[in-house]
Amino acid sequence: MKRHWAHGLALLAVVAAGGTARAQNPAPAEGAQQFAELGDFKLRSGGVIHDFRLGYRTLGKLNADKSNAVLWPTWVGGTTHDLLAFAGPNNVIDTGKYFVILVDAIGNGVSTSPSNSAKQRWMDFPEMTIRDMVESEARLVTEVFHISHLRAVMGISMGGMQAFEWMEAYPQAMDLAISIAGSPQSTSYDKLLWTAEIDAIELDPAWNHGRPTGPLTRGFAVSDEIDQMNLTSPAYRVAHTAPADFDRYLAELKKKAVGDGGTAWDQIRQRQAIITHDIPAEFGVTLAEAARRVRAKLLVFVVPEDHMVNPYPATQFAEAIGAPVVTVDSICGHGSFQCVSVGPIVARFLADPRAVHSETLHDSGQAGGGKP
């Protein structure tokens, strides 16, 4: 459950500020996992991630004038391997038309993270922000691909948050931005959810002040229960799990709820980034003023039944600049993009943003299982 961006020159200026990234494999297979070596990566807080590697995959071909690149960063806990399912001919994004760059957001366990860092293991890995994720992606775009302007930035959930951040940080660096169940600002409800999940992990008997003495089975189980309760909606859970089947459903959840300190700190650091996500506060403006800074054409997908990322800030942001809002009517909630097909609208917007207007998409199966 990515991956929104002067400022072509501003993007290129990042190279001078941060050094030159190196791709490990100059001729990779289509969609293969790759890494950009970014050295010591300085965070907005002043902290540093040492020996930072940013994971990515590419699909499609970059055209001669480099005008067809689309950046798609991952959602919380997601990897670029997960995003492969959304890319291809007749899919959410057509790799026959676009050069798609899928990016593993910092802390997902593929890019340098608490779980895999050799020098900053577990709790020693510094807190990062959504803006830090965007800055790492800006270096990838400019230093590895030498692209100064993107056709689009897009993402789902935390990927959509990065799309909003890209629009503010680099307002003229892309033509289009697409946020699917993302937000420019975490509400108090969002913060409560992510804080509860972190607290559940840290209350595990093996937590040991962040240096776990064993598997965090109990903490992960409670955190996953909270996550599943908010991923869809009450109506969805009632429709999909009969009371007589609940014990079996819960047992399956608990069976999958395993992990060590590295897994825990990956989850915590990405959730902390979401909790602090607040574009108006970051730029010292109101939400409406933040929206008016945007130069890209924006498309927003929201779900009224979203219990994980509150749709209100994204809706208000879009309305402030007259951007189309596609409302997805589905009891699948935050997971509605596995139930309702948004691919045709995304394709139409990428081809001609003037062809897309605000509308409501209905889930004919109401909790179905269609393709995005």
How many domains does the chain contain in total? 1
pLDDT at 8 over 60: no
Report residue 28's pLDDT band, with 50, 70 and 90 as the boundaries.
confident
pLDDT at 84 over 70: yes
Query: Is the CB of residue 116 less than 8 Å from the CB of residue 104?
Result: no
Report residue 15's pLDDT band, with 50, 70 and 90 as the boundaries.
very low
Give pLDDT, residue 197. 98
Over residues 272-293, the pLDDT tens digits come to 999 999 999 999 999 999 999 9
pLDDT at 13 over 90: no
Report residue 258's pLDDT band, with 50, 70 and 90 as the boundaries.
confident
Using CA atoms, how far residue 54 sits from 73, 234, 262, 266, 339, in Å, is: 11, 37, 18, 15, 31
- Report the percent of the chain where pLDDT is more than 70: 91
Give pLDDT, residue 26. 58
Give the Cα separation of 178 and 164 in Å (integer).
8
Give the phi and the psi of residue 149 in degrees, each rounded to 5: -150, 135
H or E stretch covering 254 = helix 246-256
User: Domain with 67 in it: what CATH number?
Assistant: 3.40.50.1820
Range name among 192-206, 233-247, 352-366 with the lowest pLDDT average: 352-366
- Report the percent of the chain where pLDDT is more than 90: 86
Whether 183 is in a domain gets the answer: yes
Report residue 12's pLDDT band, with 50, 70 and 90 as the boundaries.
very low
Whether 260 is in a domain gets the answer: no
Whether 369 is in a domain gets the answer: no
- The arithmetic mean of pLDDT across residues 203-219, rounded, is 95
Q: How many CB atoms are closer than 10 A to CB 159?
A: 31
For residue 41, the cross-strand partners are 49
25 or 365, higher pLDDT = 365
- The arithmetic mean of pLDDT across residues 77-88, rounded, is 94
- The arithmetic mean of pLDDT across residues 201-226, rounded, is 95
- Tell me the pTM: 0.90
CB within 8 Å of 313: residues ≥ 6 apart: 183, 184, 185, 187, 287
Rg (CA), the chain: 20
Report residue 370's pLDDT band, with 50, 70 and 90 as the boundaries.
very low
Q: What is the mean pLDDT of the chain?
A: 91
- The arithmetic mean of pLDDT across residues 24-45, rounded, is 88
Give pLDDT, residue 31. 93
Whether 370 is in a domain gets the answer: no
- The arithmetic mean of pLDDT across residues 10-34, rounded, is 56
Give pLDDT, residue 124. 97
Give the Cα separation of 170 and 331 in Å (integer).
35
Whether 220 is in a domain gets the answer: no
State the Cα angle at 274 between 39 and 176, rounded to 5°: 80
**Residue 104 domain boundaries:** 7-189+275-362
Over residues 357-366, the pLDDT tens digits come to 999 999 976 5
Whether 245 is in a domain gets the answer: no
Report residue 21's pLDDT band, with 50, 70 and 90 as the boundaries.
low
Query: Is the CB of residue 173 less than 8 Å from the CB of residue 151?
Result: no
Whether 255 is in a domain gets the answer: no
Report residue 60's pLDDT band, with 50, 70 and 90 as the boundaries.
very high
Give pLDDT, residue 157. 98
Whether 250 is in a domain gets the answer: no
Give the Cα separation of 199 and 292 in Å (integer).
37
